């Protein structure tokens, strides 16, 4: 059966171009009513224009869909609350939030100004926090919601010259981990999408042949799954060039060393065994790590 979003209302941030535009167009094509949010700024976040968001709205309407434009900056909580109020006033609900807005200010950490570090955090991390905070009460009240955070391989695995971007993107994984737990009793499912796509954000950062291969449209199926009725919860989907993977934050089996005076020396000697990945776990909460450690300690003590 074809996946559809009939009757659903979606907000997509940073939807005036690139990935966000493809997300908005795909949701609308499958029946969702879409708020197309975009400040219309440059890649580094400067400037602003309503033209980008409005152009995507016109595409959706021309194809028979329903959409409205919004130019709020995701770093302005009052504006974000007004964005959600606009969706509620127009259609009475918000079912889906795709936190896609972002900027780049790449430099090595040694050369990066702190203002550029903070601004990237503000857009990617706090922008997602503000938007999610604004939709959360409506989703709790209707006992339904789908939130997609846009993380990145730069956060999951690192990327030279992107300490600010990587820090923000990995922080979104941490946000997702906790919100997925807190939202589950209200059927609010929170997941992360790690896209690899050729957009204005990535132009000039990869070889031209790779840029051409990484069509943003190839990422959007993963977003649709994460935003759907049958979405998973607490999943990191990676997508690019038609390939889809899942990333996991894992915990190795580890080694019990104890708390003796030479624990540091013993750890140094056994570090390879501690880092060995055979039998690694995916803990279901932060507390599960602590429980694993206590269980291992108890078992080692009992075996003496």
The pLDDT value given to residue 200: 60
* 109: in domain: yes
204 and 297 part of one domain: no
66 and 120 part of one domain: yes
* 241: in domain: yes
Are residues 188 and 149 in contact, defined by beta-carbon separation less than 8 angstroms?
A: no
Last residue of one domain, picked from the residues 204, 219, 247 = 247
* 174: in domain: yes
The residues, any chain, with a CB within 8 Å of residue 210's CB and separated by 6 or more, are 198
Over residues 27-47, the mean pLDDT reads: 84
pTM, entire model: 0.93
pLDDT tens digits, one per residue of 97-154:
999 999 999 999 999 999 999 999 999 999 999 999 999 999 999 999 999 999 999 9
**The 33-37 sheet, strands edge to edge:** 67-70, 33-37, 9-12, 96-99, 145-150, 188-195, 236-240, 243-247
220 and 289 part of one domain: no
The residues, any chain, with a CB within 8 Å of residue 74's CB and separated by 6 or more, are 13, 14, 37, 39, 80, 99, 101, 123, 126, 127, 128, 130, 131
278 and 219 part of one domain: no
269 and 210 part of one domain: no
% of the chain residues with pLDDT over 90? 88
The pLDDT value given to residue 113: 98
Whether the pLDDT of residue 41 is over 90: the answer is no
* 287: in domain: yes
219 and 284 part of one domain: no
Are residues 43 and 104 in contact, defined by beta-carbon separation less than 8 angstroms?
A: yes
pLDDT tens digits, one per residue of 242-284:
999 999 999 999 999 999 999 999 999 999 999 999 999 999 9
* 4: in domain: no
110 and 205 part of one domain: yes
Whether the pLDDT of residue 43 is over 90: the answer is no
pLDDT tens digits, one per residue of 167-207:
999 999 999 999 999 999 999 999 999 999 876 655 565 56
Over residues 77-105, the mean pLDDT reads: 98
* 253: in domain: no
160 and 272 part of one domain: no
Whether the pLDDT of residue 165 is over 90: the answer is yes
Q: At what angle do helices 51-62 and 18-29 cross, to 10 degrees?
A: 30
Helices (H) and strands (E) in the chain, counts: 12, 8
Reference 37, options 75, 78, 9, 73; nearest CA is 73
Q: How many domains does the chain have?
A: 2
290 and 227 part of one domain: no
Q: Catalytic residue among 144, 157, 165, 186, which? A: 165
211 and 76 part of one domain: yes
Confidence of residue 79 (pLDDT cuts 50, 70, 90): very high
* 215: in domain: yes
Range of the domain at 272: 263-302
Specify the CATH number for the domain of residue 81: 3.40.50.720
The pLDDT value given to residue 172: 98
**144 flagged as catalytic:** no
* 255: in domain: no
Average pLDDT, the chain: 94
Neighbouring C-beta atoms of residue 136, cutoff 10 Å: 20
3-state class (DSSP) for residue 30: coil
274 and 137 part of one domain: no
The pLDDT value given to residue 213: 73
Over residues 27-51, the mean pLDDT reads: 81
87 and 192 part of one domain: yes
């Amino acid at each position: 059966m074809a996946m559809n979003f009939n009757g659903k209302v979606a907000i997509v941030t940073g939807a005036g171009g690139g990935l966000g535009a493809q997300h908005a167009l795909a949701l609308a094509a499958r029946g969702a009513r879409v708020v197309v949010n975009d400040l219309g700024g440059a890649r580094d976040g400067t400037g602003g224009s309503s033209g980008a968001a409005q152009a995507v709205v016109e595409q959706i309407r021309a194809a028979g869909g329903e959409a409205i434009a919004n130019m709020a900056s995701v770093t302005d909580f009052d504006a974000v609350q007004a964005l959600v109020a606009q969706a509620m006033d127009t259609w009475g609900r918000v079912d889906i939030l795709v936190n896609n807005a972002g900027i780049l200010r790449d430099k090595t950490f040694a050369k990066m100004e702190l203002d550029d570090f903070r601004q990237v955090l503000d857009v990617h991390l706090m922008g997602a926090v503000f938007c999610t905070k604004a939709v959360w009460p409506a989703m709790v009240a209707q006992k339904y919601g789908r939130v997609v955070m846009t993380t990145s391989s730069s956060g999951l695995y690192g990327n030279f010259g992107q300490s600010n971007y990587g820090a923000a993107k990995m922080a979104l994984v941490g946000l997702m981990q906790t919100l997925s737990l807190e939202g589950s009793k209200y059927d609010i499912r929170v997941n992360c999408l790690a896209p690899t796509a050729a957009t204005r954000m990535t132009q000039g950062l990869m070889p031209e042949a790779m840029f051409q291969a990484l069509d943003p449209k190839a990422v959007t199926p993963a977003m649709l799954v994460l935003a759907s009725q049958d979405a998973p919860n607490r999943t990191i989907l990676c997508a690019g060039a038609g390939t889809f993977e899942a990333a996991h934050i894992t915990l190795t089996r580890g080694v019990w060393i104890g708390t003796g005076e030479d624990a540091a020396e013993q750890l140094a000697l056994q570090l390879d065994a501690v880092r060995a990945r055979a039998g690694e776990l995916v803990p279901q909460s932060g507390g599960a790590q602590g429980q694993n450690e206590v269980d291992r300690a108890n078992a080692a003590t009992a075996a003496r």
